Structure 1
């Protein structure tokens, strides 16, 4: 039987933290909590920004896309992870693994690009405030989002297809808790130098190019803020950028440490915990960071809570 057909029939076994059963019990509870925070937080941001007319601006349009992206990203990982953590069954079907791989790669790439787009939005708002709405018109915003998803899909298709076409000689033990590119490359039974170099090159383009553009945007923003004579204006500009800059810092520090380093420089468990932080903690932090530092978003969420509470109260009255 062909080795790849063998894997296609039997799927993969995700070893995860199976050598630490007590840790798995703790992780299952932690992951569940963070997943609920991610679901509630990002859904609230999407609904609140759609319902509040004051938030129908380019900044919140991109924030809605970021929240939607985080929801999709966690939904593609956490349910399967919880199944593997809760019980002895550590398997994932070949089709499930392929879907998870393509989706994760696409969404991870999209987040890199989307954060760069959001930095350009902040640059335009602070450095060219009088022309902001003209430059960041709905047509341009839509084109930016389409470009982000188009590039991400292409990147995912190239890197994942290259990896999946490599022979695995029946190896189906993935030393991870999800189907991730580095974990799949490790079980290949042939020389992977060419593929690794190709994936690394794509990683440079998809990770470092957006980061470079973000740094340029914030360089101009810093110059503009320092030239402001009004302290109030400076504080407003810093608050406007603070949330995005915090998210960028957390996201890029984790991603660069995970993917843009020599393969043997980190221990296996360290790599798993970094992936866990990137996949579970970061999406739950994003809504907290944006709501805690953003007055408009806090006001919109308070309004949403009031409307929801009043609606529930009215329904109870009608039932009684």
Structure 2
């Protein structure tokens, strides 16, 4: 039975219903999700350790990559354990404040992930266009400030959603047809007016996602112009090669996110609600799973460091990427 504050119509807890209509398949759905979560934790944890351990990776590009990996760890850890608890042990109840905290972490760090991708694009532009001034342009204080500002941008923009959700009355029930507390998934079960929530959610998506995608497009346009001006074919190939892993990370991050957004807003009744929920889970797990694999395969210096680490040889400084 739902316990509720009669003054504010705020439930003590919510019930996360998993994937409605596919309850009998929860175990099967959990297997790929669990596998992806394990790969994401091992891969990103390994990258963080490697970047900390190897002196040759103590450079701006890899500092951004370490921040990216840390962000991915937070994102998938914010959702996957609770989702697996629902699927495996039927642990559907979540405290009201815990739900709001989960919502905050999900949206803040997905915004952070987008922001770090944008910073990495700018890093590549500086490295290719101004190689002789790279170290003087991207100093440690500038990098630290850029990452901090990106993080605070997410905090400042996402924090009001907590108050917008907390003010809503929940007089029709406390069952959320989802595996985690997404802003609009929680708002939609309210019996109050959620137009402000919906409009503010769109505004955040534009201010964070729209701005970052625009910066990435502009950065790569300038990178392309700088690369085609290089006289040597080998130099052009090497310059493009440095961007391969980052472009893959952009695809793995933005394509599932955009698909989820457009399917949710324009799919209507053509796409089942269960499909929306599965896509939302994949959208949060695919980037953390694939990014360390892509960077491990596509980045020569990381590959060399892994070989040296497991081969037991000492770290050496290298400037190849």
- TM-score relative to the length of structure 2: 0.90
The structure 2 residue matched to 1:283, chosen from 258, 276, 288, is 288
Change in 2 beyond 3 A, CA 1:5/1:89: farther
- Tell me the residue number matched to 1:81: 83
Equivalent-residue separation in structure 2 for 1:64 and 1:200 (angstroms): 29
Which stretch of structure 1 is more off in the superposition, 124-133 or 188-197? 188-197
Match of 2:317 in 1: none
| In 2, Cα distance between equivalents of 1:2 and 1:179 | 20
Q: Deviations over 1:45-74 (max 9, x none)?
A: 111111111111100000000001111111
- List alignment gaps of at least 5 residues for structure 2: 314-321
Moved more, 167-176 or 290-299: 167-176
Residues 1:208 and 1:293: Cα distance change in structure 2 (over 3 Å)? same
Partners of 1:69 and 1:111 within 8 A in 2 = yes
1:301 aligns with 2:306: yes
Question: Residues of 2 paired with 1:231 and 1:141: CA distance?
Answer: 31
Q: Distance in 2 between matches of 1:258 and 1:19?
A: 19
2:20/2:177 contact within 8 Å kept: no
Listed as ranges, the matches of 1:45-56 within 5 Å are 45-56=47-58
Q: Tell me if structure 1 keeps the 8 A contact 2:252–2:287.
A: yes
- Please, which of 187, 190, 198 is the counterpart of residue 188 of structure 1? 190
Distance 1:202 1:160, change over 3 A: same
Aligned 8 A contact 1:45 1:301 in 2: no
Runs of 4+ in 1 over 4 A off after TM superposition: 3-7
Q: Deviations 1:194-235 (Å, cap 9, x if unpaired)?
A: 221122112111110010000000000011111222121112
8 Å contact kept, 1:42–1:67: yes
Matched-pair contact (CA < 8 Å) for 1:44–1:301: no
**How far has the Cα of 1:257 moved from its partner?**
2.8
Tell me the distance in 2 between the aligned counterparts of 1:170 and 1:3.
13
Residue correspondence of structure 1 range 1-320 to structure 2 within 5 A: 2=5, 7-9=10-12, 11-259=13-261, 263=265, 265-266=267-268, 267=271, 268-307=273-312
Range 14-23 or range 285-294, more displaced: 14-23
Of stretches 209-218 and 267-276 in structure 1, the one that deviates more from structure 2 is 267-276
Range 86-95 or range 106-115, more displaced: 86-95
Q: How far 1:21 moved relative to its partner? A: 3.2
Contact 1:200 1:260 in 2 (8 A): no
Q: Tell me: CA distance 1:132–1:166, structure 2 relative to 1, closer, same or farther (3 Å).
A: same
1:56-110, Cα deviation, whole Å (9 max, x unpaired): 1100000000001111111111111111000233222222211111111110111
Partner of 2:15, secondary structure, is strand
Q: Counterparts of 1:304 and 1:257 in 2: how far apart (Å)?
A: 39
Q: Please report the RMSD computed on the Cα atoms of aligned residues, expressed in angstroms.
A: 1.9
Report deviation, 1:186. Answer: 1.1
TM-score (norm 1): 0.90
**Structure having the larger proportion of residues in helix:** 1
C-alpha change, 1:147 and 1:163, in structure 2 (3 Å) is same
Q: Over residues 259-304 of structure 1, what are the superposed CA-to-partner deviations in whole Å (9 max), with x where a residue is unaligned?
A: 3676352531232122111112221101001111011011112223
- 17 and 129 in structure 1: CA distance in 2 versus 1, 3 angstrom threshold: same
Report the Cα distance in structure 2 between the residues aligned to 1:154 and 1:215, rounded to whole angstroms: 25
- Give, in angstroms, the shift of residue 178 of structure 1: 0.5
Partner of 1:318: none
